[in-house]
Amino acid sequence: MSMNSDFADEVVERLGRVVPSLRARRMFGGVGLYSGDQFFGIVAFDRLWFKVDDSNRGDYQACGMVALNPFPDRPTTMSYFEVPPDLLDDSEELRVWAMRSVAIARTTKQKSPRKQSRKKPSAR
């Protein structure tokens, strides 16, 4: 992944106005976006991407947005869709879309199976 630092800084500044406890962390050539501990977005390839699931994917698709493909030479996509660029100029809509993704991140984290430690067989 790659990105323009000025674009990433602008995105973080705008999201910081509408997302509680926003944290940005550089990762894999992009910037990971967190609200508290919830990883809900990515800035990569000079675009903003938010986490999606079945509840909001259609909103992105209706705007012609596509899923993040971190490796263009592979058919793999992630559960993050490009945010319509005009949302960056509309603080209220940006907040609504961002907070949906924060909620999805929270739900996804709760559903994730926890690694269970393997118990050693007892010697009898």
What average pLDDT does range 12-22 have in this prediction? 96
Segment 60-104, tens digit of pLDDT: 999 999 999 888 788 777 899 999 999 999 999 999 999 999 999
pTM of the model: 0.82
What average pLDDT does range 21-35 have in this prediction? 93
34-39 own/partner pairs: CB under 8 Å, 24+ apart: 35/98, 35/99, 35/102, 35/105, 38/102, 38/105, 38/106, 38/109, 39/105
Confidence (pLDDT) at 116: 46
- CATH class as words, domain 5-111: alpha beta
Amino acid at 98: A
What average pLDDT does range 32-46 have in this prediction? 95
Percentage of the chain exceeding pLDDT 70: 84
